[in-house]
C-alpha cells in the first residue's frame, strides 16, 4: 500500500468517525427533546427525562473525545513513539 493510499484510509476513517459522532449527537438532541416534551406535557412535576439525558450524555461526550480529540490512534502513535524512545536510550 502506497503512502498516499495509507493517508487516504486514515483520513477516511477520521472523517467517518466524525460523521458518526454528528449523527449520534443529532439523535441525542432529538430524543432527549422528545422525552422532555413528553415529561412536561403529561404534567409531571418530577423531571425524569434528566436521567436518560445524563446517562446518554456521557456516551455522547465519550464519542466526541474519540472522534475529535483522540483521532485514529494519534494518542497510541505518540505513546508508541515514547516507548521506542525509552527503549533506545
In sequence order, the 6+-apart residues with CB closer than 8 A to the CB of 42 are none
Could you say which DSSP state residue 47 is in?
A: -
At 4, is the pLDDT very low, low, confident or very high (cuts 50, 70, 90)? Answer: confident
- Residue 69 to residue 85: CA distance in whole angstroms: 24
Question: What count of Cα atoms within 13 Å lies in the side-chain half-sphere of residue 19?
Answer: 6
Q: Quick one: pLDDT at residue 62?
A: 94
- Residue 37 to residue 64: CA distance in whole angstroms: 26
- Residue 35 to residue 82: CA distance in whole angstroms: 47
68-84 pLDDT, tens digit each: 887 756 666 777 778 87
Q: Quick one: pLDDT at residue 1?
A: 63
32-68 pLDDT, tens digit each: 999 999 999 998 789 999 999 999 999 999 999 988 8
**Higher model confidence: residue 31 or residue 1?**
31
**Higher model confidence: residue 60 or residue 1?**
60
Q: Is 39 helix (H, G, I), strand (E, B) or coil?
A: helix
Could you say which DSSP state residue 73 is in?
A: G
**Rounded to two decimals, what is the model's pTM?**
0.76
Amino acid at each position: 500500500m502506497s503512502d498516499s493510499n495509507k493517508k487516504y484510509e486514515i483520513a477516511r476513517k477520521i472523517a467517518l468517525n466524525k460523521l458518526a459522532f454528528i449523527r449520534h449527537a443529532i439523535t441525542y438532541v432529538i430524543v432527549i427533546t422528545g422525552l422532555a416534551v413528553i415529561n412536561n406535557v403529561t404534567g409531571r412535576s418530577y423531571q425524569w427525562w434528566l436521567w436518560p439525558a445524563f446517562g446518554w450524555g456521557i456516551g455522547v461526550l465519550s464519542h466526541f473525545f474519540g472522534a475529535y480529540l483522540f483521532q485514529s490512534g494519534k494518542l497510541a502513535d505518540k505513546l508508541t513513539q515514547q516507548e521506542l524512545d525509552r527503549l533506545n536510550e
